Amino acid sequence: MRVIAGSARRLQLKAPAGYETRPTSDKVKETLFNILMPYIYSDTVFLDLYSGSGAIGIEALSRGAGRAVFVERGKEALSCIKDNLNTTHFTDRARIMASDVLSALHRLEGNDKFDIVFMDPPYGNGYEKAVLEYLSTSKLLKDDALIVIEASNDTDFDYISSLPFEIVKYKKYKNNCHLFLKYIV
């Protein structure tokens, strides 16, 4: 696993061992960032939920995002994020929160507003719905914030029509998908 493009291009990243995390393949990551690039600027604040190795947030930093917050609770994954941020020299533009996602979101209230939120929760548990419901009433999103969910292809997103999000794009891959949502103020 490596950084695909930007200032840290080609640097190798560590990933936690085992099956607790699913590192996004280079091909899927490249497709994801081809879609995200028009939204990434030097003042973009990126929130990486269920961070795993931190590869997605690090890719955003490498491609020019100003800051990134990584939320992860697994000890081995947290160690990988720290190592990967050191390898890429992005520690000064990153914050790591060792926490479950909903607790971290609550603690972030009043401190940060995010341009892009990426989440890759464990599949089949409905975590994405709980996070979207929280974000829909929080003050964490900037106007027109973009939210990207990585999920299994069979994830049911029917509930989204009841939340203040508009589906911008749905990208299906062999084993999973990316759902792109725009926050509607």
pLDDT digits (tens, 9 = 90+) for 106-120: 999 998 899 999 999
Domain membership of residue 149 (yes or no) is: yes
* Residue 151, in any domain of the structure: yes
| Better-scored residue on pLDDT, 111 or 25 | 111
Q: What range does the domain containing 53 cover?
A: 26-183
| Nearest CA-CA partner of 85 in 69, 74, 109, 100 | 69
Pairing, β 94-98 against β 165-172: unpaired
Whether the per-residue pLDDT at 20 is higher than 80: the answer is no
Domains: count for the chain? 1
User: Chain-wide mean pLDDT for the chain?
Assistant: 94
Question: In this structure, is residue 119 part of a structural domain?
Answer: yes
pLDDT average, residue stretch 57-81? 97
Q: Does 36 fall in a domain?
A: yes
Classify 174 as helix, strand or coil: coil
Q: Is the pLDDT of residue 18 over 70?
A: no
Do the domain assignments include residue 13?
no
14 in a structural domain? no
3-state class (DSSP) for residue 88: helix
CATH number for the domain that contains residue 66: 3.40.50.150
**∠ Cα 55 99 102 (to 5°):** 100
| pLDDT average, residue stretch 133-141 | 97
Structure confidence at residue 132 (pLDDT): 98
Identify the CA nearest to 88 among candidates 110, 114, 61, 126. Answer: 61
